[in-house]
Amino acid sequence: MTTPSSGAAQGAVIGHGLDVVDINDFSKLLKEPALAFLDRYFTDDEMTAAGQGTNRLDKLAGRFAIKEAVMKALGVGWGDGIAFTDVEVVILEAGAPSVLLHRKLAALQATRGISRWLVSSSHAGSVAVASVIAIGRSE
């Protein structure tokens, strides 16, 4: 497992990913029978952080967009031993989102020399969007 970082971005851009989620389509994951499989997409901590309030759907859609954007930044797809829960969205102390990578993705992050992630997510109306930039270590 790797740890999220905060502060000024230093180093080279290793990858960038952008993803848009249609919240209306995404809402199907929160209904039966798909609801029974929600743990395939989100960790327990992510589900807890999303809460049970009226904007739970928006929060989960934003996290899903971040997960997809991370995969795009890494240039890999789901499957072949990579799960949605291998990208865990966390909220830093200052309130900004970041990611923790697990299993194969954590190894890939180390191999590529990625030292930090710049993560941004927003939602409006029926759309959630995320942009993720992988930053490499400064030489």
Q: Per-residue confidence at 3, pLDDT binned at 50, 70, 90? A: low
Q: What is the pLDDT of residues 90-129, one digit of tens each?
A: 999 998 999 999 999 999 999 999 999 999 999 999 999 9
Q: How far apart, in whole angstroms, are the C-alpha atoms of residue 123 and residue 128?
A: 4
Amino acid 63: pLDDT? 96
Amino acid 45: pLDDT? 95
Largest CA distance in the chain: 50
Q: How far apart, in whole angstroms, are the C-alpha atoms of residue 60 and residue 55?
A: 9
Q: What is the pLDDT of residues 42-95, one digit of tens each?
A: 999 999 999 898 899 999 999 999 999 999 999 998 888 899 999 999 999 998
In 3-state terms, what secondary structure has residue 19? strand
Query: Is the pLDDT higher at 70 or at 139?
Result: 70
Query: Is the pLDDT higher at 18 or at 139?
Result: 18
The dihedral built from the CA positions of residue 26, 120, 2 and 79, taken in this order, carries a sign that is positive
Residue 36 has pLDDT above 90, yes or no: no
Reported as half-sphere exposure (CB side, CA atoms, 13 A), residue 138 has a value of 4
Domains of the chain: 13-136 (3.90.470.20)
Q: Which of 21, 61, 56 is nearest to 41 (CA)?
A: 61
Q: How far apart, in whole angstroms, are the C-alpha atoms of residue 99 and residue 122?
A: 15
Amino acid 2: pLDDT? 52
Cβ atoms 136, 32 nearer than 8 A: no
Measured in whole angstroms, the distance separating CA 104 from the mean position of its chain's CA atoms is 15
Amino acid 54: pLDDT? 86
